[in-house]
Structure 1
Amino acid sequence: MRETDDWGYASASLCAEGEFTGWRHWTQDPYETRSGPFYMKREDDGSYLSAFRAEPRHMNGGGFMHGGCLLTFADFALFAIATEELNGDHAVTLNLAGDFLGAVPPGALVEARGEVTRGGGKTIFVRGMVTGDGKPALSFTGIIRRLTRR
């Protein structure tokens, strides 16, 4: 992994206080920062876990997490899951699809885990699962396109 990249895990800011002390988050994406902030950490097995705590501002009119918030978090998780494959390169989401599986209440710990199902070139395929307090909330698949540096 490059230590001098602009977007990869190594460049993510380290959280120094609160529930997510020791986790990292990207500060270069104003929308994700305002929506979350969302956090990630590398697990002992080399995979990446993403998480955030569900707050009242993340809820819909029915009192459960808004589907748009779940999809925004899944989009963040795509890039966390693909950290090693991206190797610090810039990329964009080409496709993100999800199936809603269950409601997430306020206060829940929301987590995402997944895997790269195909990589090695400019196009990276990812699948994952978002849970709320350990219960399935959203299964997702996504396609990331690596960008050429100018």
Structure 2
Amino acid sequence: MNLEKTIENIEKTADSYIDPELVSTIVYDNYTLGTNDFNSLNEYGIQKDDSYAKKVLKVLEKENVFINLGMLTFAPVINECDIYSTEDCTIQLTAEEFEKYGHLKDKYFGILFSKNSQDYVIGVCDLCGCKIDACFRELEDTDDALIKKIKEIINDKII
């Protein structure tokens, strides 16, 4: 994986679901959320003229970084999940899958890179990082329709 190219790829297509300059979020070791405004960071060796991808890479040397790939919303009764990403889609879920994932209403989904690594896990973050209980939650790797679709979106973005 070319991490810099992957970040650039995600950033250049993110404007359909989030401001591209806010696509990354610091996630501390206890999974609580830090800032998503990498342009205002003065630490981590960041220079004003660094590209957005370079800023993310510099932060990643010392912090875990979540990269947002879209948003999930769920429609009860009809057991659907709407995915807003570079291409919006609706996934029909079984009753069991809706029971399993329906609580993730209005969450960002994406990949969390471990600090100083290209290792990542798939998960969700709260839309508002300012909530007292805002955090990253890893998603279980299953063959459920929702997880398959999220993996498809991720694989399309990784270079």
Tell me the TM-score normalised to structure 2 length. Answer: 0.30
Q: Which has the larger radius of gyration?
A: 2
Kindly indicate which of the two structures has a greater share of residues assigned to strand: 1
